[in-house]
Amino acid sequence: MNGRAFRPATLAEALTIRGGEAVRPVAGGTDLMVARRRHAPAPVRLDAPPLFIAHLSELRYVRLDGDRTAVGAATTLHDLADSPGIDPGLKKAIRWFASPAIRNVATIGGNICNASPAADLLPYLVAVDATLVLQDAGGAREVAVREFITGPGRHVLTDAELLTEVRFPARDPVPRFRFYRKVAPRRSNALSKLSLYVEARVEPNATIRELRMAAGAIAPTVVRFDEAERIVEAQSTAALGRLAGDAVQACMRAMNPIDDQRSTAAYRMSATCRLIRRVLEHDLPSWRCHDRSDHT
């Protein structure tokens, strides 16, 4: 690759370079640098000349757009966590993410495009049906985050495209139950053995609405528990003790955990089921909408 590198001044220039030759987009570099170093001593060698994009202001913003929040792909996790428009569910996931030093440079776009089943932002983004704007020099298309990732490290981005924007629902003024838990060897700077995001609206008469559940690191891609959601949707919190077993069974059918260096498939399966059961039988029924800790 002849030591070449690109630092475009604008997004348009970045897209022209991307469309013109093989380059490797580099945002915060926190995945790329670690991945490449495993195979080569310093200096880190990429598979193609780097196309640096983290400095582009056109990719760094948080915008409230009616009932949607639009986030530039090169927005760092630190800036996301700091932004008042961001849903508390996403902020919960960011709190479990790496360390302040990594959060200062790691970007939301890098977390998505790395397409790791253990990426900490993905359970939230999958649960809330986030969409992604993929752009090349000729135009843009929007795809659901669930359709974007096709396997570990694999996605539908073409060689000419960049992920430019992530869209998800704006912060809901009505308090919601929100739960995020990551199981990892330690609290920070560790990749997940499994992660779980759950949110729901609970009506004053205790009816559960808009239950959304997704888990990371328990299958080749993040899993949305659609069937379990349907079992619980529109039921009363009082019925959860009776329904939790069926819901957990439905979740088990959706999981496809693997053995790897971080954990075993058996542990992932049993720990995820225990966590889901705890959320459905205890955390969700005991949550009250005046519990501000879930709304900040």
Ligand X SMILES: Cc1cc2nc3c(=O)[nH]c(=O)nc-3n(C[C@H](O)[C@H](O)[C@H](O)COP(=O)(O)OP(=O)(O)OC[C@H]3O[C@@H](n4cnc5c(N)ncnc54)[C@H](O)[C@@H]3O)c2cc1C
**Could you give the angle at which helices 265-278 and 240-254 cross, rounded to 10 degrees?**
150
Q: What is the largest CA-CA distance in the chain?
A: 66
Is there binding between residue 120 and ligand X (CB under 6 A)? yes
Q: Which of 28, 89, 123, 257 binds ligand X (CB under 6 A)?
A: 28
Is there binding between residue 26 and ligand X (CB under 6 A)? yes
C-alpha span between 27 and 226 (Å, rounded): 33
Tell me the H-state helices in 195-264: 226-232, 240-254
Containing H/E element for 34? helix 32-39
Q: Which of 15, 70, 98, 248 binds ligand X (CB under 6 A)?
A: 98
Is there binding between residue 144 and ligand X (CB under 6 A)? no
Q: Which of 29, 88, 123, 257 binds ligand X (CB under 6 A)?
A: 29
DSSP structural state of residue 283: I
- The distance of closest approach from Cβ of residue 117 to ligand X in the complex, given in angstroms and rounded to an integer, is 10
Instruction: Give CA angle at 55 (51, 56), nearest 5°.
Output: 85
Containing H/E element for 164? strand 162-169
Structure tokens at 13: 């220039």
**SS3 state at 72:** strand
Is there binding between residue 194 and ligand X (CB under 6 A)? no
Containing H/E element for 278? helix 265-278
> Environment class of residue 221 by beta-carbon count within 10 Å: exposed (0-12), middle (13-18) or buried (19+)?
buried
Is there binding between residue 14 and ligand X (CB under 6 A)? no
Question: For residue 237, which of 198, 274, 197, 281 has the smallest C-alpha distance?
Answer: 281
Interface segment toward ligand X; rule CB under 6 A; list 23-31, 203-211, 254-262, 265-273: 23-31
- The distance of closest approach from Cβ of residue 80 to ligand X in the complex, given in angstroms and rounded to an integer, is 10
Q: Which of 150, 189, 264, 270 binds ligand X (CB under 6 A)?
A: 189
Q: Which of 14, 27, 127, 183 binds ligand X (CB under 6 A)?
A: 27
Is there binding between residue 75 and ligand X (CB under 6 A)? no
C-alpha span between 80 and 64 (Å, rounded): 13
Quick one: 107 or 263, whose CB is closer to ligand X?
107
Is there binding between residue 111 and ligand X (CB under 6 A)? yes
Interface with ligand X (CB under 6 A), residue total 29
Is there binding between residue 198 and ligand X (CB under 6 A)? no
Quick one: 37 or 230, whose CB is closer to ligand X?
37
Is there binding between residue 162 and ligand X (CB under 6 A)? yes
Is there binding between residue 32 and ligand X (CB under 6 A)? yes
- The distance of closest approach from Cβ of residue 223 to ligand X in the complex, given in angstroms and rounded to an integer, is 16
Count of positions (residues) in the chain: 296
Is there binding between residue 214 and ligand X (CB under 6 A)? no
C-alpha span between 217 and 225 (Å, rounded): 14
Is there binding between residue 73 and ligand X (CB under 6 A)? yes
Binding site residues, ligand X, CB under 6 A:
24-32, 34, 53, 73, 97-98, 102, 106-107, 109-111, 113-114, 119-120, 157, 162-163, 189, 191
